Amino acid sequence: MSLRLNSAIGGYRLIEYLGRGGMGEVYLAREEGGGRLAAVKLPHSGAPGEAALRFQTEAEVQGKLHHPNIARLLRSGSECGQLYIAMEYVPGSTLTDMLRGGPLEVPRALEIAVVVADAINYIHARGIVHRDLKSSNIKIAPDGAVKLLDFGIAKMAAAPALTRSGCSIGTDDCMAPEQVRGGPVDARADIWAFGVMLYEMLAGRRPFAADTAVELYRRILEAPPPALEKLRPGVPPAVIAVVARCLRKKPGDRYQTARELWDALLAAKDPSRSAPPAHRRAWTALRERRYLLPAIAGALLACLAACPALLNRGPGPNVPAPGAPVAAAPPAPAAGDLVPVSITSDNGVWRVLRDGRDFGPTPATIFGREGETIEFTLKRADCPDFRKTLQIPATAWTVTEHPPCGGR
């Protein structure tokens, strides 16, 4: 059907045209009845069957993701033969818009980079490759929050290929060499694109440019990027090294995981952390397995409870036997590290919100710094909101709530 402004689809009324991309058009919409705003995406009119499959794949991918720095899916479907995807609307500017004013200060660039690396790590842990990571797909909200957008050409590891062998897909000057060749693509192509984005944030331009596609592809495949230290004197060597490793031509020479990249960025932000501590790697692993966090935390607590009894089996009440190994207490996160707290509920599924951000259904993981007091809200359509204040502990923790709901 032909859709225009003020028409409705999927329970949303289209109120403003936002733009057009390779996969479709995007409209600002409001939920019928004066509800929340959404970004509604519609495929191009007359799109071929393959494009429709991509559109459906995008909805499927987005529906699997619940991360504070990834725009969330609100609804998707088909109405009168018209496919649609309703996404969280993120106000603000894209990273591309921000960079029109020139390169970012190094600290701000690293802040954004760390957040995006965490989001990429999250999707990779779920077998998803974005394949179109670029500055225009990063939105910066007015409060400074960073959101990753547009999974239009993302691919799930187990999904059948929608790209014919020998065909490249992506944004030309952000594509990794293996994408240019039209070969197999895995998560390391996203690592390359991340390097392009970080280079762009620091230099104010992308590392590879040319007047023709043929020359652009040749440079991506063969030429080194212009030296970042010459374009932007003063960028710390550790940051330049991160960019350089992301942009290595062979996938095997890049960071092999986004978690490894994330650790390198944290070390570059704070040179005193030349190697990521084991506890920080543990917290990252927990984030990748947030649905296992309650069980892991419970087992950890049981072990900790048993440790004193084991240690006290010796000649004195609290003295270990000579030569016996002494178990070290689990290291608390270094000052400034984020501590994961898993929020669960024992009377159904609730959505977890904090500071206006939706962290998804329980069990959901939120983060804070040791000693920080935070407030979160549990929401469910058929129950009153349940607000809770919590002081962040020193180690990973699980909080189980029983929000009141009609006497249940």
Q: Which range, of 77-81, 98-102, 112-116, 358-362, averages the lowest pLDDT?
A: 358-362
E strands within 12-161?
12-20, 24-31, 37-43, 73-79, 82-88, 93-94, 128-129, 138-140, 146-148, 155-156
If you average pLDDT over every residue of the chain, what do you get?
78
* Model confidence at 40: pLDDT above 70: yes
Q: Work out the average pLDDT over 337-342.
A: 66
pLDDT of residue 198: 98
Q: Work out the average pLDDT over 297-308.
A: 49
The pLDDT-based confidence of 400 (bands split at 50, 70, 90) is confident
Q: How far apart are CA 38 and CA 304, in angstroms?
A: 46
CATH entry 2.60.40 includes domain 285-308+336-401: yes
Residues 253 and 190 sit within 8 Å (Cβ to Cβ): no
DSSP 3-state assignment of 164?
A: coil
Q: How far apart are CA 106 and CA 175, in angstroms?
A: 24
Q: How far apart are CA 220 and CA 224, in angstroms?
A: 8
Higher pLDDT, 207 or 348: 207
Chain segment 207-232, per-residue pLDDT in tens:
999 999 899 999 999 999 999 999 99
Q: How far apart are CA 193 and CA 394, in angstroms?
A: 35
Q: Name the DSSP letter for residue 215.
A: H
Overall pTM surpassing 0.75 (yes/no)? no
Q: Which range, of 247-261, 323-337, 394-408, averages the lowest pLDDT?
A: 323-337
Q: Work out the average pLDDT over 19-23.
A: 75
E strands within 61-196?
73-79, 82-88, 93-94, 128-129, 138-140, 146-148, 155-156
Class of the 93-276 domain? mainly alpha
Q: Work out the average pLDDT over 8-30.
A: 87
8-88 CATH pick, 3.50.50.60, 3.40.50.1370, 3.30.200.20, 3.30.70.920: 3.30.200.20
Higher pLDDT, 218 or 291: 218
Q: How far apart are CA 322 and CA 385, in angstroms?
A: 56
Catalytic residue among 97, 118, 132, 143: 132
Single out the residue of 354, 334, 308 nearest to residue 394, CA to CA: 334
Q: Work out the average pLDDT over 23-42.
A: 88
Residue 166 C-alpha from the chain's centroid: 29
Chain segment 69-106, per-residue pLDDT in tens:
998 889 888 888 888 989 899 899 999 999 999 999 99
Q: Name the DSSP letter for residue 389.
A: E
pLDDT of residue 312: 46
Give the start-to-end residue ranges of the domains of the chain. 8-88, 93-276, 285-308+336-401
Query: Is the bond preceding residue 363 a cis peptide, omega within 30 degrees?
Result: yes
Instruction: State yes or no: is 150 an active-site residue.
Output: no
The pLDDT-based confidence of 309 (bands split at 50, 70, 90) is very low
Q: Work out the average pLDDT over 245-270.
A: 94
Q: ∠ CA 52-30-155 to the nearest 5 degrees?
A: 30
Q: Work out the average pLDDT over 181-209.
A: 94
The pLDDT-based confidence of 161 (bands split at 50, 70, 90) is very low
Q: Name the DSSP letter for residue 319.
A: B
The pLDDT-based confidence of 326 (bands split at 50, 70, 90) is very low
